[in-house]
A and B are shown apart, each in its own frame.
Chain A
Amino acid sequence: LAKTTQPISMDSYEGQEVNITCSHNNIATNDYITWYQQFPSQGPRFIIQGYKTKVTNEVASLFIPADRKSSTLSLPRVSLSDTAVYYCLVGDMAPGSARQLTFGSGTQLTVLP
């Protein structure tokens, strides 16, 4: 199973761009990279998923270098409401796969006014 490593916490100010990097040195060929966001007292919520290069949606961008041993979640112009825990997951997407998708300890992002 691909293990992920993320910073435990990060602080930012409103309006800044935030980049959270996740390390996954033993990522497998079939593995995808997925990021989730969790607010207190709620279940995690999907943010973005990618396999290589760059993926962008309405809330974030995901940058994945060619060797895929790391990935960076980029949140443009954060606001106070972006304060949450962000999880990086690595796993394959094969239906019925026996490989577990593991939530690590996540990164607590605190956005300051």
Chain B
Amino acid sequence: DAGVIQSPRHEVTEMGQEVTLRCKPISGHNSLFWYRQTMMRGLELLIYFNNNVPIDDSGMPEDRFSAKMPNASFSTLKIQPSEPRDSAVYFCASSLLTGYEQYFGPGTRLTVT
């Protein structure tokens, strides 16, 4: 298996633009997680899905952030409109079940200018 795949690896955009981050989890994994990492706040869990259903989105910072998982092999994290403070590395991870070992993707480094 190729592991968790994220795209793009790097994204530079201007404030106010819409940003969409994509994730393909490991086949057969039932849980998917979106994290954000910054120097100031560390690694924060934004939202996680179980069997494609959002279970807990309390970590999503505000309404500008939304996440979807239309099927077991694809998820998106969207920021609209983006702001400079959204600049961070966004990780997607998947696991067989919630609480089990999580496999992280390489991350998307987002820079909002």
Which residues of A does B touch, CB under 8 Å?
A: 32, 34, 36, 38, 41-46, 49, 87, 91-98, 100-106
Determine the chain A residues whose CB is within 8 A of the CB of B44 once the complex forms.
103
- A94-B99, A95-B50 as given contacts; A43 in contact with B106, CB under 8 Å: yes
- Residues of B within 8 Å of A42, CB to CB, are 104, 106-107
Q: Given A42-B106, A95-B30, is A87 in contact with B98 using a C-beta cutoff of 8 Å?
A: no
11 contacts between A and B (CB under 8 A): A32-B99, A34-B101, A38-B43, A43-B106, A44-B93, A44-B102, A44-B104, A45-B104, A91-B99, A92-B99, A93-B97
Contact A100 B99 (CB under 8 A): no
Bound-state CA distance A111–B44 (Å) is 26
- Cα-based distance from A42 to B9 in the complex (angstroms): 11
The answer to whether B43 touches A101, judged by C-beta atoms less than 8 angstroms apart, is no
Q: A43 and B104: CB pair below 8 A?
A: yes
**Once bound together, how far apart are the Cα atoms of A29 and B45, in whole Å?**
23
Interface window among B11-19, B55-63, B65-73, B77-85: B55-63
Query: By the criterion CB–CB under 8 Å, are A93 and B42 in contact?
Result: no
Shortest Cβ distance from residue A65 to the other chain B in the assembled complex, whole angstroms: 22
Whether B25 is near chain A, meaning CB under 8 Å from some CB there, is no
Q: How many residues of B contact A (CB 8 A)?
A: 28
Nearest first, the 5 A-B pairs at minimum CB distance are A43-B104, A93-B99, A103-B43, A46-B101, A96-B50
Determine the residue in chain A with the shortest Cβ distance to B45.
A100
Asked if B43 and A87 sit within 8 Å, CB to CB, the answer is yes
* Secondary structure type dominating chain A contacts: loop
Tally of contacts, chain A with chain B, CB under 8 A: 67
Residues of chain A within 8 A (CB-CB) of B50 are 95-96
- Given known pairs A32-B99, A96-B98, the reply for A101 and B106 (CB within 8 Å) is no
Which A residues are in CB contact (< 8 Å) with B42? Answer: 103-106
CB-CB under 8 A from B4, the residues of chain A are 43
The reply to whether B91 and A101 form a contact with Cβ atoms under 8 Å apart is no
In Å, the complex CA distance between A98 and B53 comes to 12
Closest to A42 in B: B106
